[in-house]
Amino acid sequence: MDFDGVIYGQTFDNLENAIHSASMRQTKIAQNIANIESDNYQKNSNFADVLETAKTKQESKNGATAVRFNAKQELENAQNKQTLIDNELSKLAENNLKITSYSQLLSSKLKILRKVVTLGKG
């Protein structure tokens, strides 16, 4: 006879798996955000910042310096990165709420179990 199954039931296993999955998801989302940051991501991507970044990208040609500049493309790249990080932060907040809910459910289940055990001592 499996006493763990009788005492704890499937709920504890399900909550344990849910917390573990949410924790792994949290790590993945955090890594995604870190990768966005490491790829020349700029938090404040207004036009002046994009223009300055584009100006610093220079190419030497026949002893003269030519500035390769595409402001529209640079601005679109910055906006795309901002959208990506906003989406990841949204996923992070949603996942955090799930972890909190799972933890609270597990805590309430443990309180019930503790109450049953202490009442049974009698």
Q: For 50-88, what is each residue's pLDDT tens digit?
A: 556 656 655 444 555 555 667 777 777 777 888 888 888
Distance CA 64, CA 73 (A): 24
Q: Which domain holds residue 100?
A: 8-111
Per-residue confidence (pLDDT) for residue 13, from 0 to 100: 85
Distance CA 90, CA 32 (A): 12
Flag whether 118 is in a domain. Answer: no
Which value, to the nearest 10 degrees, does the dihedral of the CA atoms of residues 57, 63, 64, 68 take? -30
Flag whether 91 is in a domain. Answer: yes
Distance CA 57, CA 59 (A): 7
Q: What are phi and psi of 64, to 5 degrees?
A: -100, 155
Q: For 18-58, what is each residue's pLDDT tens digit?
A: 999 999 999 888 888 887 766 554 444 455 555 566 566 55
Flag whether 61 is in a domain. Answer: yes
Structurally, the chain folds into a number of domains equal to: 1
Flag whether 117 is in a domain. Answer: no
Structure tokens at 76: 């679109």
pTM, rounded to two decimals: 0.60
Asked if the model's pLDDT at residue 101 lies above 90, the reply is yes
Flag whether 82 is in a domain. Answer: yes
